[in-house]
Structure 1
């Protein structure tokens, strides 16, 4: 079984989830294909959009994405089964410049253009899609607002930006074509935990 996982935040938290369930990963910083201590489970590190394509084209049995990208790209409507997981949560925020000039027409920059358009469709706001470095808006006057995920908030502080309010909670989504793949994954995790527990009990 291959699980396609995006590099970065998703992999970081999925790795913690596996470690908590006594699953070891064998890789180095340059690895893109990772073997685990459960022989039937392997991980392919991919770009976010490829995680979905790997499952769609049968290159992997399971894929994981954040619910933000799942919604932004309308993957809910692509005839793929999915289940929300709880191994991490973060929030999507509306962010603005600390010093904002009054204007009748506001601009918002984000990589979440579709989500933002739905939320602010009644407002007089122009949504500009920028895939990264939205924090630079304060320096070159691209937009007045940002929609983005915030972790610690230090980047916002360093760029004279501030959170206004939380738009939605982001969770990991595990998706698959056949339900048997998810059942197999859960079964392998549970059996592995059972073996570890029995092994520990025998020591005592």
Structure 2
């Protein structure tokens, strides 16, 4: 909110400069809706953005590792993991949210474990909302990461092993750099999905 308020005067000045030009564009259609948003509404937008960012951060490493496993391993277990990953796309968001609440709520098994050993209560908190939004965005993250990893020739990763590097070295120095664009695309898609998620949270 403070960032928006800080930049509004500059936007207004830019608008006046462009209006003074002979063929200056009319920015009123853009600036008026922005200026009409109340500070409280900016706070809500900022909260949604923070929750979505936290959701992507929570699911980023699990998403990359899951995508690598699905791209490089072929077995009955791979098929089961793939179906489990896609489950949030099949279930209605409200059902997913209720399942999470039943498991991680104060009366759920996961919730009791978190409360007993870590003193954490996720129910009806921003981190709980981030977890729910992250689970809903997880399939998009995994699918985008997986496509990027599958485009990498496995022989390049095997070459690292030939020269003494292990799987982690191959993953770190070959897979991740080559899949960087796909990872960025997945982050953007996951963030957009998390921002638009309401039912599960």
TM-score, with structure 2 as normaliser: 0.25
* Structure showing the higher helix proportion among its residues: 2
Q: Which protein is bigger by CA-based radius of gyration?
A: 2
* Structure showing the higher strand proportion among its residues: 1
TM-score, with structure 1 as normaliser: 0.25
